[in-house]
Amino acid sequence: MSRIPEAVMRRLPRYYRHLDSLEKKDIIRVSSKQLGESLRMTASQIRHDLNFFGGFGQQGYGYNVTELKQKLVHILGIDIIRNVIIVGAGNIGNALARYGSFENEGFKLLAIFDNDEKLIGTKIRNILIHDSEELVQYIKDNKIDIVVLTIPGKFAQQIAYISQQAGAGAIWNFAPVDVTLEGIEVENIHLTDSLMTLSFRLACEEKGGC
């Protein structure tokens, strides 16, 4: 298989979510044209993306919704239980810990870490908050696939590096700085970027177009 372009990888979850919604409506099959209309994409773009993984469609029939969804489940790796921990029990960490839908997609939150003595020993949705001093040993003792960082930016790079050295598989970073590491997958999430993009679009409309 050739290297998958980043843009294609970014679109796969959109396909999965849409197919999931179609399946819940008991829709059996869908064409690339119908997918494109729903997702505001061209049919050829969808076929091109899926062809990186084998195509899956049948000419004159389209795609079987359930079969294609299950193919994407495998491609996205969400047919495997992924062990997750959160570092930082503040507002974002708390919100993510309470978002139970992650578990429906195979992401199992095992523990939360923080250095606030008032929080250590308490629980969020039955998930225990540990002392941050226990982080390294916990990662070593448990197969941690993803470490979620919801901490101040000045600590993010250090904690990411420590987590990598302890054996974590990937970093999902919500700190307001980019984390860079070699030999480990890192996803930097900037919540304000989406707001700025939305603001840009609003400004364009207000100006009559950009």
- Answer yes or no: are the C-beta atoms of 150 and 93 closer than 8 Å: yes
State the pairing for strand pair 127-131/123-124.
Answer: antiparallel
Q: What is the structure's pLDDT at 60?
A: 66
Q: In angstroms, rounded to a whole number, what is the distance separating the alpha carbons of residues 99 and 193?
A: 21
Q: In angstroms, rounded to a whole number, what is the distance separating the alpha carbons of residues 176 and 136?
A: 23
Query: How far does CA 131 lie from the centroid of its chain?
Result: 26
Nearest to residue 165, comparing CAs of 182, 152, 151, 150? 182
The tokens describing 52, both together, are 């990186």
Domains in the chain (CATH in brackets) are: 6-75 (1.10.10.10), 82-192 (3.40.50.720)
Give the model confidence (pLDDT) of 91-122 as tens digits: 999 999 999 888 888 999 999 999 999 999 99
The answer to whether residue 190 scores a pLDDT higher than 70 is yes
Secondary structure of the chain in HEC code, one letter for each residue: CCCCCHHHHHHHHHHHHHHHHHHHCCCCEECHHHHHHHHCCCHHHHHHHHHCCCCCCECCCEEEHHHHHHHHHHHHCCCCCEEEEEECCCHHHHHHHHCCHHHHCCEEEEEEEECCCCCCCCEECCEEEEEHHHHHHHHHHCCCCEEEECCCHHHHHHHHHHHHHHCCCEEEECCCCCCCCCCCEEEECCHHHHHHHHHHHHHHHHCCCC
The answer to whether residue 1 scores a pLDDT higher than 50 is no
Q: Kindly report whether the global pTM for this prediction surpasses the value 0.75.
A: yes
Give the model confidence (pLDDT) of 9-64 as tens digits: 999 999 999 999 999 999 999 999 999 999 999 999 999 999 999 877 777 678 99
Nearest to residue 102, comparing CAs of 88, 126, 84? 84
State the pairing for strand pair 123-124/82-87.
Answer: unpaired
